[in-house]
Structure 1
Amino acid sequence: MTVQDERWPIAGAFKIARGAKTEAHVVVAEISEKGARGRGEAVPYARYGETVDGVLRQIEGVRTAMEAGVSREQLQGLLPAGAARNALDCALWDLEAKLAGEPAWRLAGRPRLDPVKTCYTISLGAPEEMAEAARAAARRPMLKLKIGGPGDLDRVAAVRGAAPKTRLVVDANEALSFSDLERLAPEFARLDVKLIEQPLKAGEDEALEGFESPVMLCADESLHTRAELDACARRYGCVNIKLDKAGGLTEALALADAARARGLEIMAGCMVATSLAMAPAMIMAQGAAFVDLDGPLLLARDRTPGLTFIGSLIEPPTPALWG
């Protein structure tokens, strides 16, 4: 096993309600066996108490077990959900596929792996800045707008004016109060917004129980694994599943199945990262109502080989990349 951190510059800056960043700092794990190599990429996320150094230490802490041949199922009990387990879980999926000579989607029991259309994210900014970015991306089928402060309605209205035909999702990243949501949701419905993502802080979203929002609400920070699913099902109509939160593709697939069994819609989400992080999420994204795997589109450059993007359409990964 080898593990290293990498820095990938973002095109411009990525701004959300919690702050801005100019690079994606990722961790890549690689596991080799019998001449085959499996790789997994993860993004340590400060919101969840993670750091790159901490994730590297977590991975090093299970080196002996990994090199002794831990299975994906055993890995679930070795590490908690998060970036470290994600990197190793996805590396094991990739390795299994290479050793079996079968694509990972087939090992996951899926009948096929189809292309998916992703959202394209517009960073938080002044209404005119967001409108300009939306105008440049107006031909994309879905835009995801970062909001979170005074002027949110102006931001969304400006984007709608610049991109009148595209589907819109807004993502508050926990920045709204319940009174903000009550005020804004009808206005967002009037602007034909399809989804409001994580309006309230995780752990403080009980107010959503019984709230009849005119726009579907989606849990992001409130949902990591199946442990939070029952509470989310009482408060949201959709859940954003990210491999970094779930701790890998193994839990993400189980979480998606459990969410669908509760009648919830699925958003396949991501952190800002390279195509290596998006590739396993393509399996989880099959049949999702919303797909947000645009991480590589936000970078100044992607790894080679990477995923093939045709506008917002993502082609399935080649084995040279993953799976």
Structure 2
Amino acid sequence: MSNRSLSARIERYPVRGAFVIARGAKTFVDVVAAEIDDGEHIGRGEGTAIYYRGESAESVLAQVEGAAPLIASGASRAELLTAMPPGAARNAVDAALWDIEAKASGVPVWRTIGLPQPRPLLTAYTISLGEPGAMEIAARAAGHRELLKIKLSGADGASGDLARVAAVRHGAPDARLIVDANEAWETLDIEAIAHQMAGLRVELIEQPVPAGSDHLLDKVWSPVPLCADESVHDRASLDAVVGRYRFINIKLDKAGGLTEALALVHAAKARGIGVMTGCMLSTSLGIAPAFFVAMQGMYADLDGPLLIEDRASGMRFDASDVWPPEPSLWG
């Protein structure tokens, strides 16, 4: 037995305005904050429920609380991978373990991983789904940012999404653009849309078809790289997207924590697949460990704290960049 105890709670954070994607709108996000206490140090982690996989804040909280005996018995991060399933609960506990180990040893997380001294990273900023005119206004307001991520729907056909992207391009003519279809293009001519997106200088298309329907991409030649999000969560789901997507979006809540996410980065690179590091709606505590995954990829989409009323003493965002987490925040 160890002297470590695990506790958790649900915390609610309002969304700034509204966060709208093809599956609906959010005005707040509930996250699960986990803490591991050894009597001298406290390690902290956070998870956001993967709602499209049936998770809720309440179910995640119950899973985290159920892991208390594991932590009390001294379970390691490696043991956690087999003792808990992938998902937001394991992410929160895994992060808390990384954090308390860093604080107890005095060795920062990046050094334990074997990464260079962290520097600020370019992060995408999300333009929520809406009518083209509203998205153009949002893009103009965010036009000082280098990389914008546009949420699309497919609900009104290819012409509707093309109009949205064209509007964003008009509002932010100098920005780099990536788009996220959120599984909504299953019935559309994806190859034709991709060619038109290329004309609008879109450089990445995320999850055009529903997870499990990725075979629809087998004969699609896209001039814009396709990126799997909902279709890949951890190493177990990676091989199914090989040859269909050129990138994967790694999110710690999907992978079940930094430990699995780091392994997934190496597995993806070994298969010639590029890495984008994303996040759910989350506070700075939730994206702090994801920063170290993003250091190893081509794209970072870590704007979760910018879209909500973040916790106090959060991470620093400056222009288009997110700065490394301070040890006082995480690890």
Pick the TM interval, shorter chain. Answer: over 0.9
Alignment of 1:241-320 (within 5 A): 241-299=250-308, 301-320=309-328
Aligned match for 1:95, one of 74, 87, 100: 100
Query: In structure 2, what residue type is equivalent to 1:314?
Result: V
Deviations 1:212-254 (A, max 9, x none): 1111100000000011111212210000000000000000010
Q: Is the aligned partner of 1:236 residue 2:241? A: no
Deviation at 1:139, TM superposition (A): 1.4
- Tell me which residue corresponds to 1:107: 112
Distance between the aligned counterparts of 2:92 and 2:134, measured in 1?
35
Distance between the aligned counterparts of 1:147 and 1:213, measured in 2?
17
Alignment of 1:129-278 (within 5 A): 129-148=134-153, 149-150=155-156, 151-177=160-186, 179-278=188-287
Q: Is the aligned partner of 1:12 residue 2:20? A: no
Given that residues 249 and 281 in structure 1 are in contact (C-alpha distance below 8 angstroms), is that contact kept between their aligned partners in structure 2? yes
Distance between the aligned counterparts of 1:291 and 1:258, measured in 2?
18
Distance between the aligned counterparts of 1:270 and 1:29, measured in 2?
18
| Root-mean-square deviation (Å) | 1.0
Given that residues 178 and 207 in structure 1 are in contact (C-alpha distance below 8 angstroms), is that contact kept between their aligned partners in structure 2? no
Deviation at 1:45, TM superposition (A): 2.0
Distance between the aligned counterparts of 2:69 and 2:53, measured in 1?
26
Aligned match for 1:77, one of 76, 79, 82: 82
- Tell me which residue corresponds to 2:48: 43
TM-score of the superposition, structure 2-length normalised?
0.95
Distance between the aligned counterparts of 2:85 and 2:313, measured in 1?
30
SS at match of 1:179: coil
Deviation at 1:112, TM superposition (A): 2.2
Aligned match for 1:65, one of 58, 67, 70: 70
- Tell me which residue corresponds to 2:35: 30
Deviation at 1:291, TM superposition (A): 0.6
Deviation at 1:262, TM superposition (A): 1.0
TM-score of the superposition, structure 1-length normalised?
0.98
Structure 1 residues 236 and 178, CA, compared in 2 at 3 Å: closer, same or farther?
farther
Given that residues 27 and 87 in structure 1 are in contact (C-alpha distance below 8 angstroms), is that contact kept between their aligned partners in structure 2? yes
SS at match of 1:98: helix
Deviation at 1:123, TM superposition (A): 0.3
Q: Count how many residue pairs are aligned between Structure 1 and Structure 2.
A: 322
Distance between the aligned counterparts of 1:71 and 1:137, measured in 2?
42
Given that residues 214 and 241 in structure 2 are in contact (C-alpha distance below 8 angstroms), is that contact kept between their aligned partners in structure 1? no
Give aligned-pair identity as a percent.
54
Distance between the aligned counterparts of 2:58 and 2:123, measured in 1?
31
Deviations 1:59-84 (A, max 9, x none): 12221111121110111111110000
Deviation at 1:172, TM superposition (A): 0.6
SS at match of 2:211: coil
Gaps of 5+ in 2: 1-5
* Deviation beyond 2 Å, 4+ runs, structure 1: none
Deviations 1:169-210 (A, max 9, x none): 000110112533133111101001000000000001112124
Deviation at 1:34, TM superposition (A): 4.1
Distance between the aligned counterparts of 1:287 and 1:250, measured in 2?
14
Given that residues 190 and 220 in structure 2 are in contact (C-alpha distance below 8 angstroms), is that contact kept between their aligned partners in structure 1? no
